[in-house]
């Protein structure tokens, strides 16, 4: 089955570390990264979709971050 996650974080090194961790766990980048201004918090936010192919059958209780 194919899993999908959307990673987001303030535009700091924490975002890069989050994406790097996912890549090192076997996730692959999916599409282009995004960036937008969060008016509520006054910061730029980044986002990146990632996908991963794994064995098994999808259920809504899958912990995507643990994959």
Confidence grade of residue 17 (pLDDT, cut at 50, 70, 90): very high
Q: Which domain holds residue 25?
A: 2-55
Predicted confidence band of residue 67 (pLDDT cuts 50, 70, 90): confident
Q: Does residue 66 have a pLDDT over 90?
A: no
Provide mean pLDDT across the span 24-48.
97
Q: Is residue 49 part of a domain?
A: yes
Number of compact structural domains in the chain: 1
CB neighbours of 7 closer than 8 A, spacing ≥ 6? 15, 18, 19, 22, 47, 48, 49, 50
Q: What is the mean pLDDT of the chain?
A: 95
pTM for this entry? 0.88
- Closest by alpha carbon to 49, among 22, 14, 17? 22
Decide if pLDDT at 45 tops 90: yes
Please give the pLDDT value at position 65: 82
């Amino acid at each position: 089955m194919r899993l999908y996650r959307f990673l987001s974080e303030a535009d700091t090194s924490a975002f890069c570390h989050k994406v790097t961790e996912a890549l090192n766990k076997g996730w692959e980048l999916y599409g282009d990264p995004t960036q937008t201004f969060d008016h509520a918090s006054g910061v730029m936010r980044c986002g990146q979709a990632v996908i991963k192919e794994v064995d098994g059958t999808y259920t809504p209780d899958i912990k995507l971050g643990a994959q």
